[in-house]
Amino acid sequence: MLPGGDSELVQIVDAAVADAARRAGSWLKCAPGCTQCCIGVFPISQLDAARLRNGLDALDAADPPRAAAVRERARRSVERLTVGFPGDGLTGILDASRSDVLDDFADDEPCPALDPATGLCDLYAARPMTCRVFGPPLRSFDDEGNSGLGVCELCFRGAAAEEIEACEVHLEVEDQEMALNAEVERAREAPGNTVVAWALLA
């Protein structure tokens, strides 16, 4: 079940990223076929997982063979990732106390939504928030409250700190996103983050 408020959240995030991309101009190298950010396992929320499943259902209606290929890639990915998975290998729920393990886990694993023949995302419109905001400078905070701007390593090469800061993505959706995610977690009785492969098979 995907909460109705998710479409508004996606619109806000996409608009903020588009604004940052406009300011970034040629510093931003993101383009169709670049798969740098599609390799490696990363945590997604249950809201992201619900959006992905919704997108896969839509793809199933529009292009069943393509949807079947996504599911098969997800199935093979789960097979590869189950051993050593930092969480519940049956449900795909990550163990929050082992979040540091994920940093070095399956760095070479392609996302099941990535079409290896085209280098494009088969579920692009339904992609997780991490994917939506990747590329332009995005501020993050560590456990001590210190902040820094993260950018894709292919972008902003040679840019001065001031040029990078001028292209920062400005987002104020954390409360809205957390509320929607809590709604999904309650409905599915599945608290905690997961990863794309398990989300697509749930």
| pLDDT tens per residue across span 93-145 | 999 888 777 777 888 999 999 999 999 999 999 999 999 999 999 988 777 77
Rounded Cα distance, 80 and 69, in Å: 17
Residue corresponding to tokens 């393990």: 101
Question: What tokens does 146 get?
Answer: 């210190």
Q: What angle do CA 61, 43, 36 make, to 5 degrees?
A: 80
Identify each DSSP E strand in the chain by its residue range. Answer: 114-115, 120-121, 138-141, 147-150
Both tokens of residue 129? 């928030």
pTM: 0.92
**pLDDT tens-digit profile of 14-47?**
999 999 999 999 999 988 889 989 999 999 999 9
For the chain, give me the number of helices (H) and strands (E)?
8, 4
Average pLDDT, the chain: 93
Q: Given a cut of 80, is residue 70 above it in pLDDT?
A: yes
